[in-house]
């Protein structure tokens, strides 16, 4: 007779073999959503798998939690497609449907999200819209001005006029009614956007200067066009002035690293702009250790379409965290633990260097635990080779990937995403 023995292999493991924590459906949904550029492949998992996992997680959580996650993903984490997918899945579930209209109206913040939601809704084949979906789209439509509707009135399988016909929103006044009629008739005036202006064949330098003078380039458009402006011959001082005047709200930290790569001569102004958003925020009291994952998987791109790596996103967060700590030490880990000078801004990015080898997060934490500190903040994709102990003090693990299993639970305070909101959350958590 053979005796049955327990399998010593953990039920959940990371892609690199370390024991992973069992997490709740709510934690799973937050983990999948917060670092997700939807349907784009990552280092370990393809984009379709991530989308399918999000669908399953929505089924497993309460309607209120699903709605809150969608709204947080759009308003705090500045993600666009993931919130729409969550609402789409809510519309399939009888117990979730009552919250679809208000959640959909909240997460739609650009006109093209009206049509993108319908494209997601009809991914498996065209079908009638549910009553809650119609209500949500109808509530969202009046948010947008004639300029916004004209800017995003593009061709495609689903158009803005289709949304009007399907949902019958009520105009708020006569001017809005006239705008919608022009949208339906195809007579809505083309907007004066940088895309339209540049495609019209006008002199690029003069066009950029006019748009800057008229303040028609938002912060993100400004960052994306820095290389083009300089190549077209826009005076650097005029671009520097624009960077000094623009509002950095709603721009993710890693966008500044991308912009600095495109226009390195403007790095001082970009650094100032990036840090301006932290003005007035209280600093974390005591001594903080920042620990960045420098393993090979962190060198993977954020997504299949991105030219920025997970490591660069983590470095951007570290640059911001450095400014919000009274006292700080900075380390990276892979095969070993390395301390770096706690420099400021882009100098810290340069100090951190690139990625190296394996992922021994457990060994790094054990060594950090021998050093006095008040909190440890780790930026990682959580794919450790070795078991990870708990922190000796406050321990925050910030996950910048979408992989299903991770190590940063249990005694750790776990957060997902590469938004500056992680620092605001730490402030609020410790104050509470």
Longest dimension (CA), the chain: 87
Region 114-142: mean pLDDT is 94
Higher pLDDT, 34 or 75: 75
Backbone CA torsion sign across 229, 230, 233, 237: positive
Domain ranges of the chain: 25-185, 194-276, 284-431
Task: Say if residues 13 and 20 touch (Cβ distance below 8 Å).
Answer: yes
- Per the prediction, the chain carries an average pLDDT of 84
- Over residues 152-209, the pLDDT tens digits come to 988 888 999 999 999 999 999 999 999 999 999 999 888 777 777 777 767 889 999 9
pLDDT-wise least confident of 68-82, 105-119, 227-241, 360-374: 68-82
Positive or negative: CA dihedral 301, 226, 193, 199: negative
pLDDT tens readout for residues 116-126: 999 999 988 89
**% of the chain with per-residue pLDDT over 90:** 49
pLDDT > 70 in the chain, percent: 85
pLDDT at 227: 94
Average pLDDT rounded to a whole number, residues 91-115: 96
pLDDT for the residue numbered 1: 28
Q: pLDDT digit string (tens) for 327-336?
A: 999 999 999 9
Q: Are the CB atoms for 70 and 105 separated by under 8 Å?
A: no
Q: Which helix (H) or strand (E) holds 325?
A: strand 325-333
pLDDT at 22 over 50: yes
Looking at residue 241, its pLDDT comes to: 96
CA-nearest of 99, 38, 31, 111 to 71 is 99
| Backbone Cα Rg of the chain | 24
Tally the residues of the chain. 432
Joined together, the tokens standing for residue 262 give: 């495109």
How far is it, in rounded angstroms, from Cα 241 to Cα 257? 19
Looking at residue 58, what is its pLDDT? 94
* 284-431 topology per CATH: Rossmann fold (3.40.50)
Determine how β-strand 394-399 pairs with β-strand 413-416: parallel
Query: What does the pLDDT average to over 65-75?
Result: 92
- Averaged pLDDT for residues 41-65: 72
Q: Are 359 and 297 in contact (CB under 8 A)?
A: yes
pLDDT band (50, 70, 90) for residue 6: very low
Is 399 in a helix, a strand, or coil?
A: strand
The predicted structure's pLDDT at residue 48: 52
Tens of pLDDT, residue by residue over 381-412, are: 877 778 889 999 999 888 876 555 555 557 88
Q: So what's the pLDDT on residue 406?
A: 53
What is the per-residue pLDDT for 18?
45
* Model confidence band, residue 3 (pLDDT cutoffs 50, 70, 90): very low
The mean pLDDT of 70-95, rounded to a whole number, is 90
- pLDDT value of position 46: 36
**pLDDT value of residue 8:** 41
Q: Is the pLDDT of residue 353 over 50?
A: yes
Label residue 299 by pLDDT band (50, 70, 90). Answer: confident
Supply the pLDDT for residue 28: 76
Name which residue leads in pLDDT, 26 or 144: 144
Q: Which region among 3-17, 255-269, 332-346 has the lowest average model confidence (pLDDT)? A: 3-17
pLDDT of residue 407: 54
Among 220, 399, 369, which Cα is nearest to 298's?
399
User: What pLDDT band is residue 34 in, cutting at 50, 70 and 90?
Assistant: low
Whole-angstrom Cα distance, residue 319 to residue 254? 10
Q: Which tens digit of pLDDT belongs to each residue from 200-230?
A: 767 889 999 998 998 888 898 899 999 999 9
């Amino acid at each position: 007779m053979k005796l049955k023995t327990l399998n010593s292999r953990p039920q959940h493991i990371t892609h690199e073999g370390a024991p992973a924590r069992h997490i709740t459906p709510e934690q799973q949904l937050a983990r999948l959503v917060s670092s997700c550029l939807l349907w784009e492949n990552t280092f370990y998992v393809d984009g379709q798998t991530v989308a399918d996992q999000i669908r399953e997680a929505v089924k497993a959580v309460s309607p209120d939690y699903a709605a809150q996650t969608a709204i947080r993903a759009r308003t705090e984490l500045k993600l666009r497609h993931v919130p729409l997918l969550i609402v789409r899945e809510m519309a399939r579930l009888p117990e979730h449907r009552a919250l679809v209209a208000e959640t959909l109206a909240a997460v739609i913040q650009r006109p093209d999200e009206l049509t993108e939601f319908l494209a997601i809704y009809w991914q498996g084949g065209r079908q009638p819209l549910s009553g809650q979906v119609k209500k949500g789209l109808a509530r969202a439509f009046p948010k947008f001005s004639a300029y916004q509707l004209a800017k995003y009135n593009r061709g495609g399988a689903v158009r803005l006029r289709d949304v009007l016909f399907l949902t019958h929103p009520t105009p708020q006044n006569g001017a809005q009614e006239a705008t919608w009629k022009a949208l339906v008739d195809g007579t809505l005036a083309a907007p004066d956007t940088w895309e339209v202006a540049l495609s019209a064949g006008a002199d690029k330098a003069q066009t950029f200067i006019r748009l800057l003078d008229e303040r028609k380039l938002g912060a993100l458009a400004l960052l994306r066009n820095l290389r083009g402006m300089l190549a077209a011959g826009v005076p650097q001082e005029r671009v520097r002035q624009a960077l000094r005047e623009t509002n950095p709200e709603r721009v993710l930290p890693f966008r500044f690293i991308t912009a600095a790569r495109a226009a390195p001569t403007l790095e001082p102004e970009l650094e100032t702009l990036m840090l301006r958003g932290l003005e007035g925020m209280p600093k974390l009291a005591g001594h903080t250790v920042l620990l960045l994952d420098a393993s090979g998987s962190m060198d993977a791109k954020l997504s299949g379409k991105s030219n920025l790596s997970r490591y660069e996103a983590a470095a951007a967060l570290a640059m911001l965290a450095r400014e919000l700590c009274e006292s700080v030490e900075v380390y990276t880990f892979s095969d070993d633990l390395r301390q770096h000078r706690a420099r400021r801004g882009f100098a810290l990015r340069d100090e951190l260097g690139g990625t190296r080898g394996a992922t021994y997060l457990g060994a790094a934490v054990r060594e950090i635990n021998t050093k006095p500190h008040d909190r440890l903040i780790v930026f990682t994709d959580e794919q450790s080779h070795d078991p990870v102990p708990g922190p000796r003090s406050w321990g925050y693990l910030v996950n910048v990937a979408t992989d299903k299993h991770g190590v940063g639970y249990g005694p750790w305070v776990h957060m997902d995403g590469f938004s500056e909101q992680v620092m605001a959350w730490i402030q609020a958590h410790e104050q509470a």
